[in-house]
Structure 1
């Protein structure tokens, strides 16, 4: 009999959780990560969400709906470091770990030799406890026979959720859920399906004829039906790339169309990645920005500098041109990623900025070391407002 060996883990309010690990005295209060001046909320605690604070919401509006909100600035380098620690612990259990984004991913525990669902569940509950005890990061887990069902399960009872979908019950699990639980069906689409077509639950999809489904979903109707039946044959993909590139991506909790927010997310990724580049004593030349739409189509565009660098400042001006080139459809986005390639060993720089670069590099090194030690946040730039979680 098959076992629920595919696991989706999703850290709860990840950026806020990372900050609260440094400031545990704030636990239980309404907290959010974001900028006070012209800022946007990038992560909100569940207490804050209960008061109507969400991402991406302008900070000014968040303080209006929740006057006692505790606003926390972004701590550069913290989130990527905690993410690595989280996934490193996952890899101590199974070599098949897919780091889907900074705060969520998949595990395939089939190689672990478990002989019963109870053994799988015990191991994953142990991992959930360990992530809390050692990192102070609350994480929700979904266990199933495939990635689709595991992902939906992990998000069903957040925070600190733990949902197991026994083999053979995938449809039974999905059919009573709102259709918006299926990947690729955002809030606007969910409303349209309900108002125009009477499709509110996942089971409603399976009650429609092929002709109706073609009209409603177009050419993608077979994929929608497969999801509604809980079918998914995608494997957990292990990233076996070495230091030939540095990349980070973020799947938004809701489809996002705000250009300013997406620009801030991209620049925040640059900050996180360049700290890792410096830590590895490397420099990079090429930045590629990728966007993904709710229907899973995606586009990307890259730009190469004349010489390798390990400083954020040389890549900031590329963000908007690359975003404009990649985001041609101008529809709301589900995901954005930044990738650095053209990796070289330390040395070489843009000669016209040599003196200025050395000053920036010394300052960056000091801030990197301070942030690695933790403690009070050290903010490099006003744009360091981070991604939704």
Structure 2
């Protein structure tokens, strides 16, 4: 029997009227429930709503969360939701908010994350750069498989499975796979689909053996094209889910670093080498640091014609300090948890004059920037980039220079 009270006590329903406060860290609005601060999904700051209250336990902790069931006083930024699965699915959080306001809210999330640090009080945060497509932008989907091969997603609060016939965030090529495999993949409980939107290539994992599967599966890697270069991406390797906005990140980093042929560039957390390979023609040499062996193999197979890149397999916090050459420019593109403290220590000790920090988590970004600023760096600009329309997630490209240098 399930231990989740949201599954077992359907007859117990609690509703309350709430005035919604500012946007929280995970796309919910902050609200006051009998003196307790809770998050309410499906709302917009300032609205008066009737919310269903969920009380449950996760990881031995008591949790209280609200979900909007009725809007009493709507925000002028509320729009009609186009997706029939919005809410039960929970993969999107902001389809009910007009897109321009989504961009403003994302800038606000970054600003709020910085507000806890006095070192970041005067930092300039530019308006969020919009995505070229508000839907059909994701090149990667991880489907949950339940009930005889049904494909869908699990709600983040209720944990209920939601069957999906078409996901509005996914590239059309992924929805084609979803339609062809729906009800046919009972041999697995999870299915990963990745597509090269510029190549037409496809990766479906795990291998499917049922006789009525209409697509090849079990591929070890697929290819994608960025800025005219072909990249190989293995199943375990990281690759940005929004291909057009990946090129935007490259443009922003390139513009700020203003690289020259005499310079040494270090690309830390290099992945399959997108930054390193595209920027390599502009510099004398690139050191690309990556701890994933599969990503380094991907990069090496695709970059045989680029002779001035040296890939260093290992953790950035252990490798960066050992590079013998002086570093003229540095790219930091860590995972969501941010940089290891030893990485930041090495940056401060090595003192590269220009640093571009690419982050997908404003909280870990703010923590790391505070350390770098205390280590004699200054933040020149913070540029939010919308990699994930209809969700609360926001990417940032931060430019830093040494204090006292222009």
TM-score w.r.t. length of structure 1? 0.29
Higher-Rg structure is: 2
Structure of higher RCO (CA pairs closer than 8 Å, 6+ residues apart)? 1
Q: Which structure is higher in helix share?
A: 1
TM-score w.r.t. length of structure 2? 0.28
Q: Which structure is higher in strand share?
A: 2
